[in-house]
A and B are shown apart, each in its own frame.
Chain A
């Protein structure tokens, strides 16, 4: 009877362990998406600043699909149309747009820190469960020798 209880415990431990491992993988995937977004937003900031430095009247190429582009001129690098969410985009002054993007980066960084902390906690739980699994395994080994 007692043996059956231990087997169930081991199964439970393994199930819990698999749960935490899946959680860590999901958190890592989410962090990867956040990292990509932060990189993209930093590139946008760099591009907007470069366009501002190049100034009005500079020729640029606008991509039309993946293999074609048409020539255009920068009319006003001080105006930026920014996606503000929910399908709405608004014309902003360059400084306002840069500020908005920086705020979004800061929000994403805060979210990343929360997720990283969650990973640390899940790792700790995993270690705990591994230790319990090892201890239970040793106990079972001793009993089977007797």
Chain B
């Protein structure tokens, strides 16, 4: 998963009408989530990606 992919998914999510069903993938399962849950999961993924990147940067130094 890349930062760009997550940002695009968040953007797409914002443009979706409220009544649409959403599913988030956990392993092989697709779990139905609310829009806020989806947003929070994506933001969480984005933040752990950035943390990972910062850690790698720290090691490189």
Contact = CB atoms under 8 A, between A and B. Distances in A.
Interface of A: 81, 84-92
Given A81-B21, A81-B23, A87 B16 contact: no
Interface in B1-60: 1, 5-6, 8-10, 12-13, 16, 20-25, 30, 38, 41-42, 45
Nearest to A89: B23
B9 A84 contact: yes
Contacts, number: 50
A88 B21 contact: no
A132 B34 CA distance: 63
Contacts of B6: 85-86
A136 B20 CA distance: 67
Interface of B: 1, 5-6, 8-10, 12-13, 16, 20-25, 30, 38, 41-42, 45
B34 to A, nearest CB: 12
B20 A88 contact: no
Contacts of B23: 81, 88-90
B22 A90 contact: yes
A4 B44 CA distance: 59
A94 to B, nearest CB: 13
